[in-house]
Structure 1
């Protein structure tokens, strides 16, 4: 099941960890052109995270995804959940949520691509394409050649999103390598003007997709 619009998936998380500030940052990113947001925070009480995610679901006109916490995504009425290979399995998510939640996984190696092919998921997040400080455990950058190789393994119709070190300066490269969109954290949320940063990225992605 291809995702509706993942041209610019804004991933909100540390260094902004106070939930009210994080929610405001998400709204600013959407105002600038983000087509989806993903909440990626840890060590926050589930009830607080559900409340924060639900507030975004109720007020934003775009899909909201939650990282790792399928229970939070489900309770908040979010559109999807992104799970890592050490988190709850896609099969377990399907057991209690069915198709109500879109499920995504990270793909950074050929073995993860094989696992993703065997899983019931809606999108692949492929990378880290470039070096990133946002996720220290992301592994060595795979570059656009590595991205292209892994993306080519995805089944027809699968949404493949590029992640890892994506900026306005390199976003066009990953679109040209086959990405249907980009997942971006620090280039948006560490910018002095979040909306402006999202707008710049969206313009680059839109141009690349229409080329």
Structure 2
């Protein structure tokens, strides 16, 4: 798998200051984003499907990796490159069986034990967090603000790409990368920015400078 995970946008229209998610994604693509994940909590499956098809076209034209949060069926329906799974979603092995050997299957983890289990199950990459405090996602108390030391410990324990998520900005992204992450995933740092394209460029520069 040759996917670059440096800058990873997780979409959420409710945090986009009234702007359409498709417009935010277009701006992030213009800014050089590497991965787009369709999230859109609080919308119906049908709404996500129609948005998902539109984003599939944009990301395909730009050669940007396109993933769907949680929903394996939706990932298949919109022809995404893969899916990102959490604790309450289908197992990695089931997602792989449905989406096929070439699909990208990611898994959220917050400990060495869960990271090793996910890799053994066949996860292609891991999302680690929440690294810092965040209100973009409901996180169990034991998984909140795990810090860069936890990122470093998990990075040393596995041999797949890892992406830090949770409260990450251009200011603290270098610390996450230096701890061993291959990239950073953000919601508000791009979706709520005055200029999402510039915010993506700033984030990419922070990640690149720390590598």
**TM-score, with structure 1 as normaliser:** 0.90
Aligned to 2:72: 70
**Residues 169, 128 of structure 1: CA spacing in aligned structure 2 closer, same or farther, 3 A cutoff?**
same
Q: Which runs of 5+ in 1 are unaligned?
A: none
Q: Which residue does the alignment assign to 2:41?
A: 42
Q: Is the 8 A contact 1:130 1:165 kept in 2?
A: yes
Q: Secondary structure at the match of 1:78?
A: coil
Q: Rate the CA distance shift 1:13–1:85 in 2: closer, same or farther, 3 A.
A: same
SS of equivalent to 1:175: helix
Question: 93, 98, 106: which one pairs with 2:108?
Answer: 106
In 2, distance between residues paired with 1:125 and 1:151?
Answer: 11
Partner Cα separation in structure 2 for residue 44 and residue 18 of structure 1: 16
**Cα offset for 1:59?**
2.0
Q: How many residues matched?
A: 206
For 2:147, the equivalent position in structure 1 comes to 143
Which residue in 1 is equivalent to 2:187? Answer: 185
CA spacing shift, 1:144–1:172, aligned 2, 3 Å:
same
**Could you tell me how far apart the structure 1 residues matched to 2:163 and 2:112 are?**
16
TM-score (structure 2 length as normaliser): 0.90
Question: For the residues of structure 1 that align with 2:15 and 2:133, how far apart are their CA atoms?
Answer: 20
Farther-moved stretch of structure 1 (120-129 vs 42-51): 42-51
Change beyond 3 A, Cα 1:79–1:144: same
Please provide the CA RMSD for this pair: 2.0
> Where do 5+ consecutive residues of structure 2 fail to align?
none
- CA 50–17 in structure 1, closer or farther in 2 if over 3 Å, else same: farther
